[in-house]
Structure 1
């Protein structure tokens, strides 16, 4: 059976074939605009796909565009949704649908890949932080603007401030470096503060895991962080395995 995984975020669309071992194959990044997505999927996918598994936190318009494009070549489409409990993983939210499915799937992947306590940080349009203990209990999380979004908003309100560029330093001597240092520094401070709070809540230090398109620059400043690029797709593969078994 031909099966594919699709992670549709606010800034990126990633897809991968689902292997016979239940794991994602090679990841492909595709254009992230409504007008481009159908052609991009037509180029990337085989002519027919038996089942597509989609996780989406994107805008309704883009989500519909992706679903329409998948409908043209997929016999079945299954859309992942956050569940209050999935195996040993239990979500802290009283209303699970309010927890983004990308965060939910990342937690599934983290717990399945060795378990243990973990602070899971997704860096995309938003910076999301979630704490999960070694028993699979989600202890809640935080959401803030990512450094990329901070730069975009500053540039929109004050066009003289560049939207990109600069290097992280402790005290910058030019505007580009000051912006990079300030926006990255705000995210780093929230992560480090959350890690301290996690130690207090657990009585031990959790692993620190980063994923998402903006995670590389932050991981470089965190000596104890591990970057896992495909965490959402890994979790979607786990969800797909359970869904196909029902």
Structure 2
């Protein structure tokens, strides 16, 4: 059995894989749970046979140390951390310094190329929104990083007294007739505009992942492939 972790800036996604590669359990949790020593994937690991832990971590060394300690004490194994490299799994990095590309972006590119083997746009809509382009040879053409929807809205509202956002997905992108609608629809429209501008005129498929992917997907042009576990899918390619 293999435990795979996608440690993001806000939350952690996890899943366990059987020997044949199929997922047998999955979930998500806050980073604080792990920092406090509460590992929500503990029960699925009660069965014998866990042999590896594969990790994508963009949250820094402190949470990695917490995970290392737990893995050593509870399981007697050391987690394996993916790293962005110059090339791998058919993909060539477009960064001048490949190691400085976020590992989550790198893994998403690997997984998208593995599935499509063609030029595409890869967008991860999380705490930050990243939008990257792969050409038809698997060469990364670079990308964009902007604040995620929640981060963008919170930054705006922190200086706007009395504004409260209504919960739930955006039902329309029409101009808002109250401040909360104007803010939420405006932030959503800006994020969509970046993604669509990136593939404008290229007729490329979009591979979409991240916590806000479900909110954005209805407003994006086809073909849009929703892949909630894209970063996790890349772990097996980076750490076979």
TM-score (norm 1): 0.86
- Give how far 1:152 is off: 1.6
Q: Does 1:189 align with 2:190?
A: no
Query: Residues 88-167 of structure 1: matches in 2 within 5 Å?
Result: 88-162=90-164, 165=167, 167=170
* Whole-angstrom distance in 1 between the partners of 2:21 and 2:236: 6
| 5+ residue gaps, structure 2 | none
Q: CA 1:160/1:70 → structure 2, altered by over 3 Å: closer, same or farther?
A: farther
Structure 1: which 4+ aligned runs deviate by more than 4 Å? 34-37
Residue 219 (structure 2) aligned to one of 205, 209, 221: 221
Which residue does 1:207 correspond to in 2? 205
Query: Residues 12-91 of structure 1: matches in 2 within 5 Å?
Result: 12-22=11-21, 24-33=23-32, 37-41=36-40, 43-47=42-46, 49-74=50-75, 75-91=77-93
- Give how far 1:130 is off: 0.5
TM-score (norm 2): 0.88
Residue 176 (structure 1) aligned to one of 166, 176, 180: 180
* Whole-angstrom distance in 1 between the partners of 2:43 and 2:115: 28
* Whole-angstrom distance in 1 between the partners of 2:99 and 2:161: 37
Q: What per-residue deviation string (whole Å, max 9, x for no partner) do you get for residues 83-119 of structure 1?
A: 1110321000111121110000011111111311110
- Give how far 1:76 is off: 2.7
RMSD: 2.1
- Give how far 1:22 is off: 3.5
The number of equivalent residue pairs is: 234
| 5+ residue gaps, structure 1 | 242-246
* Whole-angstrom distance in 2 between the partners of 1:15 and 1:35: 12
